[in-house]
Amino acid sequence: GDSVTQTEGLVTVTEGLPVKLNCTYQTTYLTIAFFWYVQYLNEAPQVLLRSSTDNKRTEHQGFHATLHKSSSSFHLQKSSAQLSDSALYYCALSDRRNYAQGLTFGLGTRVSVFP
Amino acid sequence: EAAVTQSPRNKVAVTGGKVTLSCNQTNNHNNMYWYRQDTGHGLRLIHYSYGAGSTEKGDIPDGYKASRPSQENFSLILELATPSQTSVYFCASGDAGQFANTEVFFGKGTRLTVV
């Protein structure tokens, strides 16, 4: 089956500095869609970014990610972290065969931004 | 805008008791999902449904049943609750018809404590 790996459980960063969250995946299918979800404290997870196009940069709310099928990666980056970025971030994928079964999520990365 | 409503938002249950978590969506989505969220395990799929009358097992279905009586409603049932089922449960809905946009929309979650 599909799998998503997020290597960092916790990322701490100083406000104004860049932040990068790693996400790699394994799937037997070539046609895939990728998502980054963000979950603020006591809130529902919500989509931050989505992509299904290889090597195309996707941006939203200052975050960006590029799907690289050659390296099976979809890392999330921001050039200047803000205090309001403190949250739990999930990487997730959907493949064409199993898309109706929902998304496969990574374990999540908690981001803490300090002043 | 997508709307998924869960009830109750918080629940304390006794070991061996029956628990029913309810979910209602106004998105007219065919697919609905139940996930549980635990630290170190991320979001794990319990049951999902393709439409009214259907329920399918997800990755961790043991100890759980599901019911989809209508397009809008999807319930998760714990017939004999155990302390290991203490968790935060999320319901979600998704549109199966658009592969590249198969994000799921989450409710705000139900915090269940089994004592």
For B12-62, the pLDDT digits (tens) are 999 999 999 999 999 888 899 999 999 889 999 999 998 999 999 999 999
Angstroms from B9 CA to nearest CA on chain A: 11
Smallest Cβ–Cβ distance between A100 and the set B44, B50, B107 belongs to B50
Q: Residue A101: list chain B partners with CB under 8 A.
A: 45, 48, 56, 58
Q: Six-digit token pair at A24?
A: 């790699």
Residue pLDDT, tens place only, A53-110? 899 999 999 999 999 989 999 999 999 999 999 999 999 988 766 666 778 899 999 9
- Considering CB atoms only, which of A46, A99, A105 is closest to B99? A99
CA nearest B92 in A: which residue? A102
B45 neighbourhood in chain A, CB within 8 Å: 101-102
pLDDT band for position B101 (cuts 50, 70, 90): low
CA distances B40 to A11, A21, A57, A106, B82, Å, are 15, 16, 29, 10, 20
- Is A100 within 8 Å of B99 when comparing Cβ atoms? no
Return the residue in B25, B90, B103, B108 with the most chain A beta carbons within 10 A, the one to mutate for interface testing: B103
Query: Nearest CA of chain B to the CA of A43: how many Å?
Result: 6
The gap between the terminal CA atoms of chain A, to the nearest Å, is 41
**Cβ atoms of residues B89 and B69 within 8 Å:** no
Note whether A33 and B100 are within 8 A (CB).
yes
Pairs of CB atoms within 8 A across A/B: 61
Phi/psi of residue B99, each to 5°? Answer: -55, -50
Using CB atoms within 10 Å of the CB of residue B16, give its burial: 0 to 12 exposed, 13 to 18 middle, 19+ buried.
Answer: exposed
B46 interface with A at CB cutoff 8 Å: no
Q: What does the pLDDT average to over B81-85?
A: 97
Nearest C-alpha neighbor of A7 from the set A27, A28, A26, A21: A21
**Residues in contact with B93: Cβ distance below 8 Å, sequence separation at least 6, in sequence order:** B2, B4, B25, B27, B29, B31, B32, B33, B104, B105
Residue A115 has pLDDT above 80, yes or no: yes
